[in-house]
Structure 1
Amino acid sequence: MRAEGAFVHEGKRAKVVDLPGTYSLLAGSVDEEVARDFVLFGRPDVTVVVVDATRLERNLNLVLQILEITDRVVVFLNLVDEARRHGIAVDSSRLERELGVPVVQGVAREGAGIDDLVSAVHEVALGTHAVSAVRVEQHTAEVEAALEELAPVIQDAFPEVPNPRWVALRLLNADEAVEGAVLSGELGQLSHDESGAVVEIAPVEARQRVRKTAMSLRWGLPSDFQDVVTGRAYEVAEQIAARVQVRGLKKVGFAFDRKMDQWLTSRIFGFPLMLFILAAVFWITIEGANIPSSILATVLIDNGHGALKALAAGLGIPLWLDGLLLDGVYLATAWVVAVMLPPMAIFFPLFTLLED
């Protein structure tokens, strides 16, 4: 579900945990729960959110959700070359001001911007880079009233939680994982005191009070509560993206690729071209497999089978065993390899190229 690694920067050893890719922490899929639970319960010193510069609005929704949990965040604006190719530029400095956390742009596959990213992570981890993360504050009146009532109850029970509003949102949405963390007291283990000792688990009465308050307030919310919360996050993400993006720039490079895209996705030529390409792939597969299939048949069946039969006779192997192993198992396997392997070796690489 996740990968781990480590590196050393300016004499400090850092552990890196690569979480599953996700666009949201709210929907409740396994990947989203893994990412959400680690950010909330794993106590990371810094959370790096990799954002696709070509899909900024959609990715900012995730950034805003993570900022509801922690402000120790660095945003890596990836694929800026692809964005520029599509005529999109992102003002990373303004995006940093909008979000209140460091924003580093680059191209991960080429290693561009990685050094700046590591430096930003280092500064946030040490506290030398001050952060003031933006948070989605304005919900409907009913949601705001419920949050204002529930958040203090959570804060009283779990004073170490950095943002009780986010926990309140998840409890109001009946998030089973967060509710379980409240009841077990795990939610209170988010922070350590200065001595490094784990904070004491909240009393049972306080945990039950949080749960009962959340359940009571939940009934007073509209049935589309989750849609309202999600919609507000997307609205804010859209507003931020509109302020930091510049669209309509002259597209650069890859003119041939764009021309191919126009032809292959054309309403008129798209399907005929697709059928032609598939026909070409099948023709190459069938014709190209004839020679290697013939070679394999000669080696494995014409020559190999006879040689093995002679060897078996010389060793005095019983006829029934000879027939079972050589005329049965070996011969069947040899035919399958000779007939099936060459076309598969040709077809699947070609199909992979088409997918790419």
Structure 2
Amino acid sequence: MISLRHLTKTYGRGDAAVTVLDSIDFDVPTGQIAAVVGPSGAGKSTLAQCINLLERPTAGSVVVNGEDLSGLPEKRLRDARRRIGTVFQSSSLLGRRTAAENIALPLDFLGVTPREADARVGELLERVGLADKAGHYPFQLSGGQAQRVGIARALALRPSILLADEATSGLDPETTRSVVGLIRQLRDDLDLTVVFITHEMDTVRLAADTVARLDHGRIVEQGSLVDLLTAHESPLGRSLQPRRGHAGPEAGTRTWFVTYDSTAVPGDWIQRVTTDLGVAVHLLGASVETVHGVNTGSATLGVGTDDDTRVAAALARCGLSGTPDAVPITRHDDAERVLAGVLEDVA
């Protein structure tokens, strides 16, 4: 478990001081994956560096599995860091070392015997699906394979905490899904607690159990992924919704943009709304996904009535919320833009 209390990080002194993290309270229960999102400059990477104590907090505490790391002397802190593995952006592999040699680096520094190191490296390569790539150098690996080696290296010392700092940045969607799936599998198999720092909202839906949003060094919103996805009033929840391009309206209909606001939206909700209203309801487009067993997303409808009150009531009876004449977001691949809009919403 990770527990941050009043965590503060300030660089500089006096009038030149800049507070990057401002009295953060944040908990990640054992075995959960918590995503931290926010625009560039929000303090995400500094947060990761404070959790593994590569940066000492200016104030506050970092408690990992019941032990406050922030006040430990350097020698004990080095020991404590072994319980925290970190996966960096672009894997950060050493180009002159093979995949196996990169994974063995932490073991070499600890003086583990070659026989024990070889056994551990072989086990990890098997876990990440790269047993046949042990002798390959980074330039011989794809981006996804290199990141898998980075994950294996982070697990070499059998940590209980895994920090993934933009671990899927720059990977194509299919590779991202593969890497996220591996992290979730490792979480389950090894009972890991994971902090997943990213700006990719699609990745958050794939990876996270809970989500927190940083804004100028403060956590301004957090909650379970499912709760956020079904909270229409939540700016973070709206930014997490899957959205794609939808078709234009049908003649003689009014366009409604509809979002899932319940964990129990029936699968035949379009038929139910049509029957309830007694008018034609056309599906113009939908972006719906199943996250942790719950359907979530949005749809654009063409509804053959201008009685907004009746339409809103019919949608609500199915666990949906709708806005007439709304223009849905048609792209969801620019998370910086979406998050910037979120910040404007709550300013």
Same fold (TM over 0.5): no
Could you state the TM-score of these two structures normalised by the residue count of structure 1?
A: 0.24
Larger fraction in helix: 1
Higher relative contact order (CA 8 A, sep 6+): 2
Could you state the TM-score of these two structures normalised by the residue count of structure 2?
A: 0.24
Larger fraction in strand: 2
